[in-house]
Structures are given as C-alpha cells and as structure tokens.
Amino acid sequence: MRLLNRPPKILEERYFSEVRPLLYKQHRMYRQRGKREKHTLAEHLDSACQFVLTVSKMAGVPDDKRAVILAATAVHDLNKLDERGRNVKTLARDKAFLREQLEKAGVSSFGSG
C-alpha cells in the first residue's frame, strides 16, 4: 500500500523527485570541456534525460521501455563518470561499472515498477 493510498508515481515524477536531485548532487562540480565548458555534467545529463522523457512520451513509447531509455541516458557519458579515466569502449562492456553507475544515478530499479 502506498503512502496515503496515492497512485504510483509516473515516470516524470520519479525522474524529478528521485533521479534529478542525485544527478546534481553527484555531478554539479564536474565542468564540461570544449563548447560545453559553461555547463556542468549534471546540467548535461539532466537536459538529455528531460529530452528523452519528452520525445519518448510524444512517440508513445510504453513507460517500461521509457524507463530503460531514461536509465541509459542518465549514465550515457561513461568516460566522464569513471575515476580511472578508462575509455567508453571499455566501460560500455564493464557490467559491474554500469550497475554501479545506474545505482548512483538512482535508476537501477527503473523498469521494474
């Protein structure tokens, strides 16, 4: 039973209440480079997540699939998330690293309800 018998949160509510705050907490200090240098990694990931939420909803993608897309988007800059400086090709195949990043971003349970 949910608190006060409220219906389950929709994906957008979960993103804004659970994921977005974590992105800013963890990545607000990481400055982008090049043409994105005025923005933090948190801002970049947040923009990308909001974009996929909007586009996937407009396209009629079911919420369980939207959740997976959102989870991937929340951690899509793998090389910027790795403290050891490994490349994206290596990190994309490192399941333990991916699980850890999905948990840190608060999206590891997305898609499971």
- Domains held by the chain: number: 1
19 in any annotated domain: yes
| Sites in the chain below the pLDDT cut of 70 | 1-8, 30-38, 111-113
92 in any annotated domain: yes
Q: Residue 15: beta bridge partners?
A: none
pLDDT at 48: 95
111 in any annotated domain: no
C-beta separation of 74 from 23 below 8 A: yes
Residue 74 has, within 13 A of its CA and on its CB side, a CA count of 30
109 in any annotated domain: no
pLDDT at 110: 72
C-beta separation of 61 from 108 below 8 A: no
Measured between alpha carbons, how far is 18 from 41 in angstroms, rounded to an integer? 17
4 in any annotated domain: no
110 in any annotated domain: no
88 in any annotated domain: yes
Q: Record the tokens describing residue 56, joined without a space.
A: 């996937």
Please give the residue range of the domain that contains residue 99. 10-104
45 in any annotated domain: yes
Measured between alpha carbons, how far is 83 from 87 in angstroms, rounded to an integer? 11
Per the confidence metrics, is the pTM higher than 0.85?
no
